Chain A
Amino acid sequence: MPPPTRRTFLQLTGLSAASIAIGVSAPAGADATPARPVPSGAFALGVASGDPRTDGFVLWTRLAPTPLATDGHGGMGRDQVPVQYEVAEDSTFKRVVRRGLAIATPELAHAVHPEVRGLKPDREYFYRFRAGAEISPVGRTKTLPLTGSQFTFATASCQAWYHGYFSAHRDIARRSPDAVFFLGDYIYEYGIVAGDNLWREGVSVGTEHGVEIETLEQYRLRYSLFKTDPDLQAAHAAAPWFLVWDDHEVQNNYGADNSLYGIPPELFVHRRAVAYRAFYENVPVALDSLPHGPDGQLYRRYDVGSLARLHLLDTRQYRDPLPVDETDRVSEKRTIMGAQQEQWLYDGLRTSPAAWNVVAGGVVLTAITDDRTEQWDGYPANRRRVLEAMGQAGTAVMLTGDIHRHVASELKLDFADPGSRTVGVELVCSSVGSNGDGTDTDTYAQDWLQHPYVKLYNARRGYVHSTLTRSELTAEFVNFPYIQADANAEPRVIASFRTSVDDPHLEAL
């Protein structure tokens, strides 16, 4: 009897195709040698890590030697391909502490999401993958601390690849923070057309990118296009990411199963299913976030020792429709989070042992104008409940994006009452790419700056870098003079604020 091939071996182990298809691990003793050679350049989309814990993290890569193959499979065939990974304490891999194997399958576009556990807290690790003779770039990541004295993080959002270069990611990679929060709009669904919305100079795209994406192959291709950016790959390789999604991962301004563009809910859920699937396949999130049909579990919680509790929200999947009138808008029943997630957040805040509560979401919490119903202004009762819960826990730091502007604001227990208590601050990061070069100010500035609790407004592209200690938060707002011409613009710190944990307001530095 000949020795079993890899395929028959998998069959002999009795593992179902489904259990292998999840790309997290491999059957014990599985052969690490692919059935046929892996095409060169298989790691063209880079490597990533995410969802860190005190003892580990999720690793990610996706084999795609031809990232822009129109079928969304990145130039990989129908084979299952074993992917080895190594985690080391040093960047030269002299002190390897973990080795493992995950099976990349066509079901997940040859993405793997191995979950590494049993590592030491609060320390740097380096990782790389191997598939056949192909070896990936090296990534750097970090576990969370058991106690925690300092935690650095960058926040970024809204990376419309076609509007400009990702200088923000280049600078985030240079700084290698403890973590990166990505706050939604990782891709955009719109058709990309030269002479229309293709503002990134010196690039061209095929007609297959010129239509609004709808099928899984189109969503996969869109992720591939964005992820070919070397600065985005560098930022992923430099730190573990915490990702939340906003609307453009599916369709502009969708909420729950409602499309803004008249697609009936019973049809739209099919679109949401493939969009959530492609999101999972292309980012370093844990297996818990693998969607089932049209449903994906993305809200989740992490503790940075007793320094900070991180609450990652999903303010898209469960939100009520846009209000039909003012009575509806202010209704006590309205929710942007859904009842279950609200209860989860309030429990998490109530039981939080941490000095800080960092809440990351897709859309702005601070009260701005009543007609901004896409953000929390459309859900004031839910906002009041959140602020009350924040007020009974450690100092709140809300992290959001969405608006393509840098904004810093103080979170008032009651925004209508200037004398009410400040329960924390909100740091709204501008976009990485969306809206192109931008200007320092624009016609919307007054809507924001009319409020005494809004301390900064800037309409150029950039990111925010923050440092948390037991006593204070320091936030630096970084922007770039341009992004459309090339990726070489120099970063500028346009504003810095200090916030005391005991008396949270924004003190300009």
Chain B
Amino acid sequence: MTNRPPAITQLRGTGDIGTLTLDWKPVSWATVVDHYAVYVAEPGSTTYTLLGKTVYPHYVHRGLGFTGVTRSYRVVTVDAAGNRSKESAPVAAANKTSVTVSGQPIARVGLYDGKGSELALSPKGYADYPARFPSDVDYTYGTSVPSADWSYLLPGPSDKWAGSKNHTVRFRFDLAAVPEQDLDLALWLIDSHASIPGAALLSVNGTEVGRLAFANGATKGSTIADSTYPGSPLKPSYVEKPLPKALFRTGQNVIELFKDNGSWIAYDAFGVYARR
């Protein structure tokens, strides 16, 4: 006779780029939980494999790539005695498809490849930033050169090496016509500061679009350019944001990031995409 602990309920999944976050209602404190075991089944498979264990009613499935895939998840409660619950009801959920996959590139700096090595000052030239970019980055697509004109880091006001002040990056590109649909910004980072990645104001042609809050990284991308090799300490993150079509015009457009909060972010790539 085993006393099976109860299964969790209200399992739900929220997709993002590269990740799928699961949340559920934990069992009551009457059950002493050792951990929750999280299982996944790939599309077309009925076989669930163990993804990981967590003590929290929360689990992030990472490393899912940039094309949305719907997977099935379920959770087993393991109690302090090692007894296992029945499987929870499954939930099907998908990570998001990146606009770099679904969209048509208009203008880009850098390759969306998990590395920042093609950018200026990479991999660890941040101390030269004030001399190389005394007026910050002002980059014109088609004319400027990534390895010379786009700093691998965007510093913030918390960075003493960059003058402890706010910093701006401007990205200029031409449009032959006003777009028929909204465009998308794809700002990928190989890393960011671990505790104060901070935020930046985003504007298009002088109109504020919103504030981008950056995810905590590992504070390693200032000296290491590659997030893809096995064991790389970097913590990449992905910001993709719709840009209203009404803000664009024929001819030159400018997208501006104003880093007025926190420390640096380290670019993987920066670009604007049209929807297909």
Contacts and interface: CB of A to CB of B under 8 A. Distances in A.
A7 B57 CA distance: 34
B34 interface: yes
B29 A293 contact: yes
B58 A267 contact: yes
Interface stretch (A70-78, A228-236, A332-340): A70-78
Nearest to B26: A270
A294 B33 CA distance: 11
A262 B194 CA distance: 11
A106 B54 CA distance: 20
Contacts of A215: 34-35, 53-55
Given A215-B34, A217-B35, A292 B29 contact: yes
B80 interface: yes
A106 B81 contact: yes
Interface in A212-258: 214-217
Given A73-B82, A107-B80, A273 B33 contact: yes
Given A262-B216, A267-B58, A216 B34 contact: yes
A285 B32 CA distance: 19
B26 to A, nearest CB: 7
Contacts of A267: 56-58
B81 A270 contact: no
Contacts of B35: 214-217, 274
Contacts of A106: 80-82
B217 to A, nearest CB: 13
A267 B56 CA distance: 6
Contact of A274 (B3, B26, B34, B57): B34
From A72, A215, A293, name the one whose CB has the most chain B CB atoms within 10 angstroms. Answer: A215
Given A107-B32, A217-B35, A78 B81 contact: yes
A267 to B, nearest CB: 4
B47 interface: no
B46 interface: no
A271 B55 contact: yes
B161 to A, nearest CB: 24
B80 A277 contact: yes
Contact of A72 (B3, B34, B55): B34
Contacts of A273: 29, 32-33, 55
A274 B82 contact: no
From B2, B3, B29, B79, name the one whose CB has the most chain A CB atoms within 10 angstroms. Answer: B29
Interface in B1-40: 1-3, 26, 29, 32-35
Interface string A308-344: 0000000000000000000000000000000000000
A494 interface: no
Contacts of B80: 106-109, 216, 277
A270 B34 contact: no
A499 interface: no
Contacts of B33: 216, 270, 273-274
Interface string A283-306: 000000000111000000000000
Nearest to B35: A215
B56 A271 contact: yes
B55 A270 contact: yes
A25 interface: no
Nearest to A294: B29
A105 interface: yes
A273 B32 CA distance: 8
Contacts of B58: 267
Given A106-B82, A273-B33, A274-B34, A214 B54 contact: yes
Contacts of A277: 32, 80
A17 interface: yes
Given A78-B82, A217-B35, A274 B55 contact: yes
Contacts of B56: 214, 263, 267, 270-271
Nearest to A217: B34
Given A262-B216, A293-B29, A216 B55 contact: yes
Interface string B162-177: 0000000000000000
B81 A105 contact: yes
Contacts of B81: 78, 105-107
A216 B26 CA distance: 15
Interface in A262-283: 262-263, 267, 270-271, 273-274, 277
Nearest to B3: A17
B55 A214 contact: yes
Nearest to B28: A293
Contacts of B79: 107
Given A78-B82, A215-B35, A273-B55, 17 more contacts: A73-B82, A78-B83, A109-B80, A215-B53, A215-B54, A216-B33, A216-B34, A216-B35, A217-B34, A262-B216, A267-B57, A270-B33, A271-B55, A271-B56, A273-B32, A273-B33, A274-B33
Interface of A: 7, 17, 71-73, 78, 105-109, 214-217, 262-263, 267, 270-271, 273-274, 277, 292-294
16 contacts: A17-B3, A78-B81, A107-B80, A214-B55, A214-B56, A215-B54, A216-B35, A216-B55, A216-B80, A217-B53, A267-B57, A270-B55, A271-B56, A273-B29, A274-B35, A274-B55
Across the A-B interface, give the 3 residue pairs with the lowest CB-CB distance, nearest first. Answer: A293-B29, A215-B35, A216-B34
Interface of B: 1-3, 26, 29, 32-35, 53-58, 79-83, 216
